[in-house]
Amino acid sequence: MFTWARRRYLDILASVYIYNEHRGYQSLDRVLEAVRAKYPDAAAFIAQVEKHRADERKHYLMFRRYFEHLGTMPFAVDRTCGHIDRLIKLTFGCHIDDLDTQAVVASDDLFNRLCRIVMITEIRGMNQVDDLLQSFIVKSDHALIKIFKVVERDEPSHWMPYKAWLEAHDGGMPRLSERIADAWVHRSLIFVKLPLLYLNPWLKRRTDWQDSRDTLPAERLLAA
């Protein structure tokens, strides 16, 4: 019984992570589109965002190989499990896929807000990985520990460039409303959504991989 319960918990945890890593690099395509259009001469910052995007894609592939090794598919979780999905919705009033990139390019306020949201999402992710690496259940899965250690190593380079950019361009640090939204998304995921997923006997597994439906322009794929 304990073995089944442990396996289900780890599968749900990894399913939420693979979803978020996929949505993460998709979201960064929007950031890249905005920064390339708004600040085409900011080569160093663009390169840092490209690295961030490549790391998110790398993490996604690590989780995919994890499930492939298990011989199963991730559970079919949706945007209600996505930290960046829900945070964008709360702070921009729309889903990531509906975010008006041209409006972000045209507005310093919106561009800075997008940078702040990415920054606090990545800081939250870094802190969460630190907690998971101390979990005795996660520690029992050596393959998952290896993945989270890679994520832990990469995370600082995912939020520091945005912080430096905001400081250099008077973009401000995360607003109180943005921090509250982040805290709400995190706590509702940990204390509500994950337990409901775990207890849902009808929770199905995916029949395809998230990236099987990716439709990126060639220039974006080059940054993957």
Give residue-wise pLDDT tens across range 77-111.
Answer: 999 999 999 999 999 999 888 889 899 999 999 99
Interval 204-220 mean pLDDT:
76
Alpha-carbon span 50 to 21, nearest angstrom: 15
Alpha-carbon span 148 to 154, nearest angstrom: 10
* Residue 223 reports pLDDT greater than 60: no
Residue 71 has what pLDDT?
A: 97
Q: How confident is the model at residue 212 (pLDDT cuts 50, 70, 90)?
A: confident
Instruction: Report in angstroms the alpha-carbon separations of 165 from 27, 42, 67, 109, 119.
Output: 18, 10, 36, 14, 11
Q: What is the pTM of this model?
A: 0.92
Interval 58-87 mean pLDDT:
96
* Residue 17 reports pLDDT greater than 90: yes
Buried b / exposed e along 140-173 (16+ C-beta atoms within 10 A)? ebeebeebbeebeebbeebbebbbebbeeeebee
Interval 13-22 mean pLDDT:
97
Residue 83 has what pLDDT?
A: 93
Interval 5-34 mean pLDDT:
95
Alpha-carbon span 86 to 78, nearest angstrom: 11
Q: How confident is the model at residue 46 (pLDDT cuts 50, 70, 90)?
A: very high
Q: Are 74 and 17 in contact (CB under 8 A)?
A: no
Strand-pairing partners, residue 75, are 205
Alpha-carbon span 124 to 37, nearest angstrom: 28
Residue 216 has what pLDDT?
A: 52
Instruction: Give how many domains the chain has, as a whole number.
Output: 1
107-124 pLDDT tens trace: 999 999 999 999 999 999
137-177 pLDDT tens trace: 999 999 999 999 999 999 999 999 999 999 999 999 999 99
Residue 2 has what pLDDT?
A: 81
Between the two ends of the chain, the Cα-to-Cα distance in Å is: 41
Alpha-carbon span 153 to 150, nearest angstrom: 5
Instruction: Report in angstroms the alpha-carbon separations of 223 from 121, 126, 158.
Output: 21, 23, 15
* Residue 217 reports pLDDT greater than 80: no
CATH number for the domain that contains residue 19: 1.20.1260
Domain span at 164: 2-221
Ramachandran quadrant class, 78 (left: phi over 0; alpha: psi -120 to 50; beta: rest): beta
* Residue 221 reports pLDDT greater than 80: no
CB-CB neighbours of 5 under 10 Å: 11
* 175: nearest Cα among 97, 117, 102: 117
Residue 1 has what pLDDT?
A: 72
